[in-house]
Structure 1
């Protein structure tokens, strides 16, 4: 419950929660499913968010659809790592196709125009896709660690292993997204009330929101983040050792620098996606009674949805092999020097390991 003076947690647990003046008599007049939420922000704020969501929908859907189509069209892209990238793209499509498109229409209308049932569906779909994407990032880091650092010796990471890992990401995502449908927390409008997600900012003993938020933080943020940091730190150490041992090899040094930049961008991308959401949710849970601006509560949700665009940019468009195939698919000429550089860099990185 929001305990700040002048605010009240509406007792409409299956529908919504919004802070309202205590002297308001007609509660239904503020329903995010019935009327514009102009008391929460200016029209300009809603329309700016609508434009941002439209951008995420168009570019997120386009980039991820292109990634999937390109993989199916080019046999040389059907490697174990690219299977995980396709899994990430499918998850991103779920978020952009359901979450971003729904949020765009709702922000344009300034309220969640689709109703309470659609709110639960959108919240579940966006959470499911987001969690699959998040766990896919951890699986990519794990795969890179196994292939390059070779902690298991001559173990070969095969396509069937990649498919098993993809299956695990969906199982973990379902474990995170399904509980609100069964009564552990709930899906309600969040922030400016134009998109839906798990209830992380109300105290309601019936739904045990606090315990669910802690579960999400530990299982769906801390564990993947720790996996990513551990795997990539080990990868950097291995690459630096290889570069030091082959100091005379310009191609090895170049490969080491490229991978280092990629690792830094990957970790930063993860933090930009999920740190605001995790931090804000934890702050709200541990600071009950403190007021906060619902416009700020919208930002973490938007950043997590934005992962549908910058995740494929980081993991796909910065992958030279993918980039070359996409250029050919779109009828653009591929640079021969780039193809040669791709082959050489791939060869040098594949040699790295405690042989």
Structure 2
């Protein structure tokens, strides 16, 4: 491959090579001064067809619009509606904040895609990866906080209510916990941020074959994936166990009293609302697993496994899954919240939502998802 192509700048606006039948390698249009920032692993792969870049760019435009709408509405409604200003909902707002800012970086990806590669350069790559690390790990730990809040509220409803002070301290801890894993690679004190896949997205370097880098990958894998995942699985499993034990106790008591059920109509309505909210919790847990597990697997393969398995196309899959979940989170969390829909109806009546909240729904919602401080 002739290296004269490396003198082409991606933002020149003219690509006579597009009409050529010759297939270029990745980074063919990257200036030599920027090549040092690209792992050599990607330089041996052919560049994808222009249509792949365009499709990914259009997909990210859709992600961007969905996220701005969904997360923007969540932040707006939850911060301006008095009935939703609860301690527990502070975590929902923080999650929406993470997802909102995660998707604010997508214009960098879109720009790179339409210019077929590393068009935004090293600075754009660092911004993209830094924002992604802060918001991605922050969202994971916020999900863990939400799981803990629901576990504490359901397992101990009298003493487990979240206070505003406690919620604020937990949110500050989340950002204190997250910051080192974004700052260290940004300053290249430990690890570094580099382009990946089609060179249109950036993440921490999981390909550099050094002991320090492998150690960094192992540590960030533990702190950004294993720890929040363990908390989420533990707390939600305890919630399920608590509900099952409660149901078993009710059945045994009903059997002793020779009745079919101890539940009144109101209790049955409460149970229905609790089941609906539990389904939302399980959905969020599943979304977290589905979004970040591919990234975790790719990073482990790159650091400790067979790097030849990591093709540019394969590594773009986890980059898309985590962005997709950042778009879905607000719709799963907020649109399943009866009071959110009521407030949305009040502020934007032209949406014709026509939502009503019964006293039962209100009490259950306050008990399980938005305990008053």
Q: TM-score, normalised by structure 1?
A: 0.83
The Cα shift of 1:11 comes to 12
1:274 and 2:292 aligned: yes
Distance 1:82 1:106, change over 3 A: same
Match of 1:177 in 2: 182
Structure 1 residue aligned with 2:339: 321
2:12 paired residue number: none
Do the aligned partners of residues 346 and 156 (structure 1) sit closer, same or farther apart at CA in structure 2, a change above 3 Å counting? Answer: closer
2:207 and 2:307 in contact (8 A); partners too? no
Return structure 1 stretches of 4+ with deviation > 4 angstroms.
10-14, 336-341, 347-350
1:188 Cα deviation from its structure 2 partner: 0.8
- Deviation, structure 1 residue 203: 1.6
TM-score, normalisation: structure 2: 0.79
Specify the SS of the correspondent of 1:125.
Answer: helix
Give how far 1:13 is off.
8.4
* Distance (whole Å) between structure 2 residues aligned to residue 119 and residue 292 of structure 1: 20
Q: Give deviations 1:7-48, integer Å, cap 9, x for gaps.
A: 9xx9988511244678xxxxxxxxxxxxxx9x3311121111
Change (3 A) 1:323 1:119: same
Task: Give the structure 1 partner of residue 68 of structure 2.
Answer: 61
- How many Å separate the matches in 2 of 1:48 and 1:336? 37
Say which one has the larger Rg: 2
Are residues 1:238 and 2:242 paired?
Answer: yes
Kindly provide the CA deviation profile for residues 148-173 of structure 1, in whole angstroms up to 9, marking residues without a partner as x: 1129x725420111111111111111
Provide the rounded CA distance (Å) in 1 between the counterparts of 2:227 and 2:306. Answer: 26
Shift of 1:111: 1.3
Could you tell me how far apart the structure 2 residues matched to 1:238 and 1:347 are?
Answer: 19
- How many residue pairs were aligned? 325
Q: Partner of 1:4 in structure 2?
A: none
Structure 1 residue runs of 5 or longer lacking an equivalent are: 1-6, 23-36, 351-355
Taking the aligned partners of 1:74 and 1:20, their CA distance within structure 2 comes to 49
- 8 Å Cα contact 1:243/1:252 also seen in 2: no
Q: What does the per-residue CA deviation read over 1:177-221, in whole Å, with 9 as the maximum and x for residues that have no partner?
A: 11102321111111110011111123245xx22111111111111
Query: Structure 1 301/239 Cα, relative in aligned 2: closer, same or farther at 3 Å?
Result: same
Q: 1:20 to 1:318 in 2, by over 3 A?
A: closer
Quote how far apart the aligned CAs of 1:289 are: 5.0
Which of these residues, 158, 165, 169, is aligned with residue 160 of structure 1? 165
- Indicate which of 33, 53, 56 corresponds to 1:46: 53
Q: Does 1:91 align with 2:98?
A: yes
CA distance in 2, matches of 1:349, 1:193: 44
Q: Is the 8 A contact 1:91 1:130 kept in 2?
A: yes
SS in 2 for 1:188: strand
Q: Is the 8 A contact 1:243 1:253 kept in 2?
A: no
SS in 1 for 2:203: strand
Cα separation, 1, equivalents of 2:173 and 2:303: 29
SS of equivalent to 2:334: helix
Q: Do the aligned residues in 2 keep the contact of 1:252 with 1:349 (CA within 8 Å)?
A: no
The offset of 1:238, in angstroms, is: 1.9
Distance 1:336 1:242, change over 3 A: farther
> Please, which of 114, 121, 129 is the counterpart of residue 108 of structure 1?
114
Q: Deviations over 1:102-159 (max 9, x none)?
A: 11121122113221122112111111111111111111001111111129x7254201
Aligned mates of 2:230, 2:345 — CA distance in 1: 35
Deviations 1:49-86 (A, max 9, x none): 11111111111112111111112221111101111111
Specify every segment of 5 or more residues in structure 2 that has no aligned partner in the other structure, as ranges: 1-25, 27-31, 251-261
Distance 1:75 1:14, change over 3 A: farther
| 2:269 corresponds to | 251
Residue 25 of structure 1 is matched in structure 2 by none
Distance between the aligned counterparts of 1:326 and 1:254, measured in 2?
A: 23
Q: What displacement does 1:272 show?
A: 1.2
Aligned partner of 2:194 in structure 1 is 188
CA contact (8 A) 2:339 2:357 kept: no
Structure 1 residues 335 and 242: alpha-carbon distance in aligned structure 2, compared to 1, 3 A threshold: farther
